[in-house]
Amino acid sequence: MSLPELVAAALFAGVLAYGLFGGADFGTGWFDLTAGGSARGAAVRTQVDESIGPVWEANHVWLVYVLVTWWTGFPETFAAATTTLFVPFLLALLGIVLRGAAFAFRKYSGTLGQARVFGAVFAASSLLAPFFLGTIAGAIASGRVPAEGYGDRWHSWLNATSLFGGAIAVGTCAFLAGVFLTADAARAGRVALARTLRRRTVGVGVATGALVFAALVPILHDAPTLADGLTGRAAPLVALSGLAGVATLVLLVRHRYAAARVAAVLAVGSVLLGWGLGQYPWLLVDEVTIEQGAGARATLVGLLVAVGLAVVVVLPPLVWLFRSTQWPATAEITDHGAGR
């Protein structure tokens, strides 16, 4: 691997981590939004609070990592993307800001009325953000970001690949979140809540799977370079993703929640990886390759130093955070108001 490719790999590792961790975070918004009125939805919303409360901020930093690595490692392509995809970037940003703020506000809001307002903002913006991030990915993957920037501000992201990309992003986020929430609820002994969540997650999973296959048809026409990659080099990953997705559903139905989590991560992770491999060696498809887009060598080396430091300094406490907040059962919380 060349130096720019190494940095691109590090960048993509961030995309992957954000897709999985941030995605599972975002997806909780779907279940929160559809949980029902305040009495009926209390159990789901409390579970959402508890599951992502301690980790959402850390999960969110992956996005900052991705942006920073992108503009430092491949500066001109970053400027090209922001000038072309101004609108979806802005709307994704809006979603991210509203969601983080509203989530924190809701947790400490003083009245049910306030909690409702913040909750609605949190849940709705949780769908907004992945949708527009998905359209950005679609625009890049379908070769709509010109190297010199200032591409078509509307058609660049209002097209089949982008819109399907957005919808798929929302679906996969919800799917991941559903699997995680179900597992968390079951581990905490909230049987009725786990049952509802499981049922709804299976629904989301089937719908998202159908969406992914439906999307293949327009993508084959609309994004030929990506399509070549997906059906060629990345085909095994696409197949793996499909298999893992089905496995997740089967495991959910059989109450094997811990295993279902692994399968779901595999399913979504391999789709993302497939996209990356599918568009390799392009950074902006059909416009700029990784080698062409790379910034100064000294900076790329510096970035790799930062990444190395991150592995040493950030990963161990991150693992500690997930271990201590996510894995032990919090059995003292009862199954209150679930599934009614």
- Which CB atom, from 64 or from 313, has the smaller least distance to ligand HEM? 64
- Which CB atom, from 93 or from 158, has the smaller least distance to ligand HEM? 93
Structure tokens at 299: 């900076």
Per-residue x/- mask for another protein, residues 268 to 307, rule CB under 8 A? ---------------------------xx-xxx-xx--x-
Asked if residue 281 has a cis previous peptide bond (ω within 30° of 0), the answer is yes
- Which CB atom, from 28 or from 201, has the smaller least distance to ligand HEM? 28
H-type helices in the chain, by residue range? 3-17, 23-33, 42-52, 56-73, 75-84, 86-107, 112-141, 160-187, 191-222, 224-231, 235-253, 257-279, 290-293, 297-313, 315-326
Tell whether residue 321 is a contact of ligand HEM (CB under 6 A). Answer: no
Of 84-113, which residues contact another protein (CB under 8 A)? 86-87, 89-90, 93-94, 96-98, 100-112
Min separation Cβ 22 and ligand HEM, Å: 11
**218 interface partner picked from another protein, ligand HEM, none, CB below 5 to 8 A per type:** none
From CA 6, how far away is CA 218, in angstroms rounded? 32
Tell whether residue 296 is a contact of ligand HEM (CB under 6 A). Answer: no
**320 interface partner picked from ligand HEM, another protein, none, CB below 5 to 8 A per type:** another protein
Structure tokens at 326: 């996510």
Only one residue has tokens 């992003």, namely 169
From CA 95, how far away is CA 123, in angstroms rounded? 10
Min separation Cβ 133 and ligand HEM, Å: 16
From CA 161, how far away is CA 165, in angstroms rounded? 6
Instruction: Tell me the torsion sign for CA atoms 247, 251, 252, 256.
Output: negative
Closest CA to 101 of 121, 72, 76: 121
Residue nearest to ligand HEM (CB): 64
Min separation Cβ 57 and ligand HEM, Å: 6
- Which CB atom, from 24 or from 230, has the smaller least distance to ligand HEM? 24
Tell whether residue 61 is a contact of ligand HEM (CB under 6 A). Answer: yes
| Residues in touch with ligand HEM (CB under 6 A) | 57, 60-61, 64
